[in-house]
Amino acid sequence: MYILKFVQQPWHWSVAGLLIGLTVPLLLILGNKAFGISSSLRHICAACFPANISFFKYDWKKESWNLFFAAGIILGGFIAGHFLQDGNNVQVAAATQARLATYGVHDYTALLPSEIFSWSNLFTWKGLIFFVIGGLMVGFGTRYAGGCTSGHAIMGLSNLQWPSLVATICFMAGGFFSANVLIPYLFKWFN
């Protein structure tokens, strides 16, 4: 019971950073594997939809470890979200709460605010923009950049790859722009 209480308490962000940071050398040492998640979708498509598309014509079975890695992330998230919560609301800094309140976000009972991420919003204009268009932009950007933030910012930078530095700078600039310009504009438009 003590172990469960220990796991349920809020942890410092550096613990996750350390574990993710140790994953990179572990993958390189154990099998010369590159850390990244975005390639998993390509592997799934190549395995499940073997159409006559050249992009999906490769030996995806050599990269099947990546599918298990992605499945572990999903399973771990499910376990943590359903069995390891301590029952308290998500802790959000007071300054962040004040800023989110100007956007109409007041619910902190879950990891994602229900004012945005709910089934009732899925088939609305808000859902179309946040889920569909946002998802397409993330997918296009990941493909265009040749990988996702975890692949470039964690794996690519640790290997001192110049394209990963450029991609990471662009990811960060896009995130700052979205959080400070785009999201406030969209919230004002919807409210």
End position of a domain, from candidates 85, 102, 132:
85
End position of a domain, from candidates 85, 105, 131:
85
- CB of 69 within 8 A of CB of 36? no
The domain total for the chain is 2
Task: Give the pLDDT confidence score for residue 176 in this predicted structure.
Answer: 93
- The residue among 47, 38, 88 whose CA lies nearest residue 66 is 38
First and final C-alpha spacing in the chain: 45
Q: At what angle do helices 162-177 and 134-145 cross, to 10 degrees?
A: 160
78 lies in the same domain as 122: no
Task: Give the pLDDT confidence score for residue 20 in this predicted structure.
Answer: 85
Q: Percentage of the chain surpassing pLDDT 70?
A: 99
Task: Give the pLDDT confidence score for residue 187 in this predicted structure.
Answer: 79
CB within 8 Å of 34: residues ≥ 6 apart: 27, 151, 155
| 132 lies in some domain | yes
Three-state secondary structure call for residue 110 = coil
For 40, which DSSP code? H
| 102 lies in some domain | no
pTM summary value: 0.73
| 103 lies in some domain | no
What's the pLDDT band for 1 if we cut at 50, 70, 90? low
| 19 lies in some domain | yes
What is the enclosing helix (H) or strand (E) of 4? helix 2-8
66 lies in the same domain as 139: no
What's the pLDDT band for 58 if we cut at 50, 70, 90? confident
121 lies in the same domain as 182: yes
| 106 lies in some domain | no
62 lies in the same domain as 138: no
In 32-169 the beta strands, taken as DSSP E runs, fall at: none
Task: Give the pLDDT confidence score for residue 179 in this predicted structure.
Answer: 87
Read off the pLDDT of residues 144-173 as tens digits, 9 standing for 90 and up.
888 888 788 888 888 889 999 999 999 899
- Domain range for 75 is 1-85
pLDDT at 43 over 70: yes
Task: Give the pLDDT confidence score for residue 4 in this predicted structure.
Answer: 77
- Measured CA distances, 123 to 57, 94, 132, 182, 186 (Å): 35, 31, 10, 21, 17
3 lies in the same domain as 80: yes
- Alpha carbon distance 154, 18 (integer Å): 11
Mean pLDDT of 71-89: 84
69 lies in the same domain as 145: no
124 lies in the same domain as 70: no
Task: Give the pLDDT confidence score for residue 162 in this predicted structure.
Answer: 93
Residue in this structure with the two tokens 């999201």, named with its chain if needed: 183
Q: Percentage of the chain surpassing pLDDT 90?
A: 9
Task: Give the pLDDT confidence score for residue 12 in this predicted structure.
Answer: 87
End position of a domain, from candidates 85, 107, 127:
85
Mean pLDDT of 90-117: 82
